[in-house]
Chains A and B, each alone.
Chain A
Amino acid sequence: MARKISMKQAINEALDLEMTRDPTVIVMGEDIVGGTGSPGEDDAWGGVLGVTKGLHAKHGDRLMDTPLSESAYIGAAIGAATCGLRPVAELMFIDFMGVCFDQIFNQAAKFRYMFGGKAETPVVIRAMVGAGFRAAAQHSQMLTPIFTHIPGVKVVCPSNAYDAKGLLIQSIRDNDPVIFCEHKNLYGLECDVPAESYAIPFGEANVLRDGDDVTIVSYGLTVHRAMEAAEALAKEKVEAEVIDLRTLSPIDWDTVIDSVERTGRLVVVDEAHPRCSIASDVAAFVGQNAFGALKAGVQMVTAPHVPVPFSPVLEDLYIPNAAAIADAARRTLAPTGTSPRSIAA
């Protein structure tokens, strides 16, 4: 039965259920148990934000703390995946992928193709994404587009607890490498989540709100900003359809195209930087495949082309907000010729 739990609890529950169901599921990462080898409490942390708290007591050595050594343990997770385990490796902050990227994009992503379809690499790499944590340039990035660029990995970024649980269970059961992006500012957000196991298929966007006037496409935290914008627009009698992509690779083009063909207007919201982003990807795809349906130029609302700043006043300006999204929607609705040039922030 369903009850309200946070996204953090939902992720913990998905790991717990899958470890219980399948003895080949192992979990590794820096401080995911916490305190290993230290004189104090065992299971001291359960991850830096406590996402894996309590799992060590239940599943023992199948949860492994690692040295601070991302290349080695992310590679080990990938190697173990080719040898019959289903490892879930926590990279902590996705920003750290810079030190282990080879193992993800040259190894895990390419085994199946390079080896002529004879390899399976069912590894999940969990990592926190996103700004708003006052964590500055190296702990706050939304690096999803870097992974969607690479054939052979799948990229998931849930916006709520229900999706996080179902998508993580699917990620663990999936036979391909999955980059599972968890927005740290959504960890505390609660919604109804069934206690049972369930898997949400990849490539199935969620339509959060119906509307015939403008389509707003997003994923992760900015889905909530898009919903706020849609409520503001509704007061102006503008009904926005809000689409949460949920998975970025594969991506549900059909739902986006169907919606744009009905509304004729598109705003894409992405917490990543504007260049070669999810936003520019969606804009390009719609431009190529639904140009005839468009009544106005596609608007992108993204973070600016700058690193994530530290000072709260600057960071708050950095993150796409509801007002900017609503303004972008209004630009698509302005009579032709009066629309101000979109500023790619």
Chain B
Amino acid sequence: MATVELKNVSFTYNKSMKNAKKALDDISFRIEGGITGLIGHTGSGKSTLVQLLNGLLKPDSGTVLIDGTDIWKEPKKIRDVRFKVGLVMQYPEHQLFADTVREDIGFGPKNMGLSKEEIKKRVEESARFAGLDPEVLDKSPFDLSGGQKRRVALSGVLAMDPEVLILDEPAAGLDPAGRREILGGIKKFSREKGTCVIIVSHSMEDMALYCDDLIVMANAKILMHRPCAEVFSEAELLSSVGLDVPQITKIARLMQKAGADIGLDVYTVDYAVDKILELERTKH
């Protein structure tokens, strides 16, 4: 299983300028497989962190380790790191360029130097994970709807079969069904391939549903790195850094105040239902 590890990483934008801004301040963490959510207020350093992980940015100090190897040990081989660590940026549908969907999805695998058959296989497989119909593959990506374009862009990264997959707001601007399908596809991909996934999102509901662990960032530092339930039970701490808890956690808090305690670590509706039924049974 792939591991991602940061050791004392710091990064500053516009170092030489007057308006230098520390984006990351002595960050360390370790992730081993699973789906990790990265949450934080706007400007807390999430996007910077994401770009450091696949070598788009180089840390000022500290090391980024993927599978235990420092990615900057051989700066000339940074391209190999990018094949290993797939990054889906915000609004990735704005980066489509090819004549056909097939060609666009195959851009990454082609850059990896794979054979034609292998590219074809990967394109079809990743399109399936992203929920794209096979007949879409030979259309122009510019004829598709916004949601479908997003899926094409996502498959473009999935097709590289990365060991670590990073997604910056993968479901932003999609309708609820689209969100479920995209995030569900990512979860399935992660489970089947054993990919270590990091999702950046502002939607606490999505995070609660799809993530195992959460990393909470605030003021260029890591505030918490714990399982979802533990993070969401710290509602006061989260709101102090401008973050929220899922709606269902709020309801659980209100219920506790009203005398019906189902615990504060409730963060999905299904779990809440179980807890409430359990409470019902113990009452009678």
Q: Do A and B come from one complex?
A: no
**Chain A interface (Cβ < 8 Å from any Cβ of B):** none
**Chain B interface (Cβ < 8 Å from any Cβ of A):** none
